[in-house]
Amino acid sequence: MQNVENDKIDFHKKYKLYKSVYEIIHPAISKKNVSSYRIVLRDDLLPLLVFYPKKVSSLESIILFVPGDGEVSGCLNRYSDICYEISTHCDRLVIAIDYFDLERRFPDSLDMCYKTILYLVDELEKLSVTSDNVILMGDSIGANLISAMTIRSLHDNKKICSKEILLYPVLSGEYFGNSSYESINDKGKIDLLTIDRVRSFFEKYINDKNDLNNPLVCPLCETNYKKFPTSMIITGDLDPLRDEGCEYASRLIKDNPHSEYANILLVSHGFLGLNDTEMKNRLYQMINNFILK
């Protein structure tokens, strides 16, 4: 890893590590609330942002955050504020993976994100921060990628986290016509922009519509949830994607009763970007209770 503010990357060398994970998870070294790094894997360069709470009392758990596509979630140019807010309210270090700058189609974006998560989990393990202390968190398309990485990690017999928190996740491919989900048919008429954005994203992301049958693109195509990590799914009541999040949660809870589902009233897709203090306080209280249980 490399601090982009102070160093230059030599692209002709295939160094795996430019700056140690030890350095980025100890805020006393950076003395800032946020630091920018680059992770270099083979010929790939991926930006990371690391957010520190006001005071890190311990490293009992670390949040690896996968942001949604800002155009889909409506949180464009807000994710730095959002991640710092998460770090502050949850009193945990947050490492955010900024993968959308790569402009890759499936499966390249997923591959890069997955390799980065595996790398971070492996490096944290060396510092006695095991996968049992790692929480994956993401919203919208980011939550989709977390679910896809979970499916892939189970196929690879790898453990990448102990818990997952999925906020208004994109989980199906039912955005191209008639849908079996009432919320898409009903709320989609009110919040048409969300469906248009998701549809537009998939048109750029997938290679053809056959990919919509792949669980690594649409996690609701998965049929076996028995070994999934304990998960929390949080949807917005006005979100056209509410019902698919609810269905996904019911499948996870069936096989893992410690998983949870919450639906927040009077908010739609992208509620992480809202300036609603009362709603945010309730949201982070739920998240903290889930992390600590």
Q: Is the pLDDT reported for residue 67 higher than 60?
A: yes
Predicted confidence at residue 109, as pLDDT, reads: 87
- State the pLDDT confidence band at 11, using cuts at 50, 70 and 90: very low
pLDDT at 193: 73
Q: What pLDDT is stored for residue 100 in this prediction?
A: 62
**Per-residue model confidence (pLDDT) at position 177:** 85
Looking at residue 229, its pLDDT comes to 97
Q: Find the range with the poorest average confidence among 47-56, 175-184, 282-291.
A: 47-56
143 three-state secondary structure: helix
Q: What amino acid occupies position 79?
A: Y
Q: What is the reported pTM?
A: 0.89
Cα–Cα dist 42/39, whole Å: 10
Residue pLDDT, tens place only, 187-223? 877 776 789 999 999 999 999 999 999 999 999 999 9
Q: Give the confidence band of 19 by pLDDT, cuts at 50, 70, 90.
A: low
pLDDT of residue 28: 54
Q: What is the mean pLDDT of residues 242-258?
A: 97
pLDDT of 71 higher than 80 = yes
Q: What is the pLDDT confidence band of residue 161, given thresholds at 50, 70 and 90? A: very high
- Quote the pLDDT of residue 33: 75
Residue range 30-54, pLDDT digits in tens: 456 777 777 776 667 777 888 888 7
Quick check: 143 and 170 in contact, CB under 8 A?
A: yes
Position with higher pLDDT, 113 vs 6 = 113
Domains in the chain, CATH or no CATH each: 2-292 (3.40.50.1820)
What span, in angstroms and rounded, lies between the C-alpha atoms of 82 and 142? Answer: 14
d(CA 22, CA 24): 6
Residue-wise over 170-183: b if at least 16 C-beta within 10 A, else e? bbbbbbeeebebeb
> Taking Cα atoms as reference points, which of 73, 209, 204 lies closest to residue 144?
73
Q: Tokens 């160093």 appear where? A: 7
Strand 163-167: give its sheet, edge to edge: 2-3, 34-41, 44-51, 94-97, 62-66, 134-139, 163-167, 230-236, 260-264
pLDDT in tens, 223-247: 999 999 999 999 999 999 999 999 9
Q: Whole-angstrom Cα distance, residue 252 to residue 274?
A: 28
Q: Residue 19 and residue 202: Cα distance in Å, rounded?
A: 35
pLDDT reported for residue 42 = 64
Percent of the chain topping pLDDT 90: 62
Which pLDDT belongs to residue 32?
Answer: 60
pLDDT, mean of residues 251-264? 97
